[in-house]
Structure 1
Amino acid sequence: MFFNSEHMRVILLAGLLLTAAGSYAQTYMPSAERITRTVSYLASDKLKGRGTAEKGGEKASKYVAKKFATLGLEPGFNGKYYQPFTFTRGKHVDVPSRNVIGFLDNGAPYTIIIGAHYDHLGRAGLFDGKYPIGEIHNGADDNASGVAGLLELARYYTENGTQEDFNFMFIAFGGEELGLQGSKYYVKHPVDSLDNIHFMLNMDMIGRYNPERGVGIGGYGSAEEWPAIFKDVKGDGVKFFTDAAGKGGSDHHSFYVAGVPVLFFHTGGHDDYHKPTDDIAKLKAREEAGILGIAIQLINNAMKEKKLTYKGEEEKK
């Protein structure tokens, strides 16, 4: 077949467009490289463990707000990214903290909340000797890994070129390590009615994947539709198991007890939990990207439902 110069120009242009389209699509999937960069910053000694009411914690919240702005998320609280609050814990009164909230407005009636807590133990000053005071607890897994996941999902849903049938609210919670303070405050002072939440997905410690265990996904029993939504979901190089419980020791708990369906991603405990040794070198970023791929499948399947039906815990007989 003979091709003249015009035919060749069209063919070359089409090839370039296909190549660009392929690159475009790949850009917005969860990236192990970006995850590593995010965790490397948040878990650096510069932030000194991101302690609540410490400069490092404030820097972490500013970092998240800046990322939200870069991604084009609207400020989610009264025209600002920060939802400030104070709390009392034991002898510590009026401790300041803040949630960081970014909103993706798709003009939909219902909203999906995706959350992770940005705080960690810092230098342990608010824990009254429970942890070594003065030592930096960097918290690479707990929960810089979850914040990295939060930002990757924010990137995916702001830049995938599709207007979804649900709004998205991305929340980085403060004060989690001191008793789920940020999420407790949010459910008492929500930006929008809790009745308008489709579900809440929480990520806490998703950076230490153990292939023998897999990633646990809690909240499987919190909505009638979850079993159908999970059907045919597969991990790319990672496996998962489900847990019915909606309650637990992280921010999803606050939403669940307030009547909101939840999912909770967690790769399990380890010897570095709440120790100064929870550092970036032990992060498994490639596997975390795979875990986020599972989360995307579940979110997309859940968006096929009009509104999830909340299920509370059944009484044990």
Structure 2
Amino acid sequence: MKRWLLFTCAAAISSSALAQDTIPDAARIQGIVNYLASDKLKGRGTAEKGGEKASRYVAKQFKKLGLQAVNGGSYFQDFTFDRKEHKNIPSRNVIGYLDNGAARTIIIGAHYDHLGTAALFDGKYPVGQIHNGADDNASGMAGLLELARHYIKNSYKEPFNFLFIAFGGEEMGLQGSKYYTAHPLMPLKDMHFMLNMDMIGRYNPERGIGIGGHGSAEEWPAIFKDVQQPGIKYFTDAAGKGASDHHNFYISGVPVMFFHTGGHDDYHKPTDDAPKLQAASEAGIVQLEIQLINRSMAYPALHYVGPKD
């Protein structure tokens, strides 16, 4: 009897610990942002050492979580692009896969790059100053890693696969998503939808969080119906197009959701630093995303609605 009780208690503790680990965690979110937005990474600029270091960090986290590398055994998808007088600028996407043996796949995306020391921006931003980009977009990367942790550590098998993509070169014109949609590692027609997080770390309770792409699939209104998350207010926008990486998936025929807490005085300035992150609210936003993702999986497929213009 004692042995049975010990086994039962141990199993309950183990189950409780696993459940706790899958819940978006504010302290863990803050820790990820603290690193990605530290002066050590010098703003994660494209074609700068800090940006490359950030990509390696993301790949390391993917491997640690147990995501598969699907690009010829590499987590990296390297590419180059041109911007104005700058030619053959190097960047890379970081890609990890959760294979549930399903026919369709959900894409979770966020860009990891920021302005760096602004060398490639032709004087638009103060050159030489570190732009740490805590909200833009270390916050989105923390959200991506929390979602990866949640879905890979669940004890049940979801009816969809998950593809996690950390995009490079977003600040240079959505270059990472542009490259991926032109060179997808899996057919875009087999994608259930793409969820994008860009600046989700400065929640304003008066505004709430905006969720774009509400009009990009016929099923979104039903999926959103009656969804609530304590402490998080949200509103929807029908547009699938926009100034972040979901845009390239939408114009390629993939339904999208885009999460964004709105602009602020630190946007694209050296003052966008980690201590200003609202990690507890971000954890609530990620939990809201989990609700919507889970509800979307009740549908075998979403029906894409294209732009009206």
Q: Give the whole-Å Cα distance in 2 for the aligned partners of 1:76 and 1:31.
A: 28
Q: Structure 1 residue 13: deviation in Å?
A: 4.1
Q: 1:291 aligns with which of 250, 271, 285?
A: 285
1:262 and 2:260 aligned = no
Q: What is the root-mean-square deviation of aligned Cα atoms in Å?
A: 1.0
Q: 2:56 aligns with which of 62, 87, 95?
A: 62
Structure having the higher Rg: 1
1:173-252, aligned counterparts within 5 Å?
A: 173-252=167-246
Q: Give the whole-Å Cα distance in 2 for the aligned partners of 1:160 and 1:261.
A: 25
Amino acid corresponding to residue 35 of structure 2 in structure 1: Y
Q: Give the whole-Å Cα distance in 1 for the aligned partners of 2:91 and 2:282.
A: 28
Amino acid corresponding to residue 181 of structure 1 in structure 2: Q
1:1-317, aligned counterparts within 5 Å?
A: 6=1, 10-11=4-5, 13-315=7-309
SS in 1 for 2:120: helix
Alpha-carbon contact 1:28-1:155 (below 8 Å) kept? yes
Please list the CA deviations of residues 24-77 of structure 1 after superposition, one character each: whole Å capped at 9, or x if unmatched: 211111110110110000000000000000000000000000000001111131
Q: Give the whole-Å Cα distance in 2 for the aligned partners of 1:135 and 1:232.
A: 45
**TM-score under structure 1 length normalisation:** 0.95
Amino acid corresponding to residue 167 of structure 2 in structure 1: F
Structure 2 unaligned runs (5+)? none
Please list the CA deviations of residues 203-244 of structure 1 after superposition, one character each: whole Å capped at 9, or x if unmatched: 000000000011110000000000011112111211111110
Q: Structure 1 residue 78: deviation in Å?
A: 1.9
Q: Give the whole-Å Cα distance in 2 for the aligned partners of 1:89 and 1:95.
A: 8
Alpha-carbon contact 1:86-1:96 (below 8 Å) kept? yes
**TM-score under structure 2 length normalisation:** 0.98
Structure 1 unaligned runs (5+)? 1-5
Amino acid corresponding to residue 87 of structure 2 in structure 1: V
Q: Which runs of 4+ in 1 moved over 2 A?
A: 8-20
Q: Give the whole-Å Cα distance in 2 for the aligned partners of 1:101 and 1:297.
A: 23
Q: Give the whole-Å Cα distance in 1 for the aligned partners of 2:185 and 2:255.
A: 17
Alpha-carbon contact 1:198-1:307 (below 8 Å) kept? yes
SS in 2 for 1:217: strand
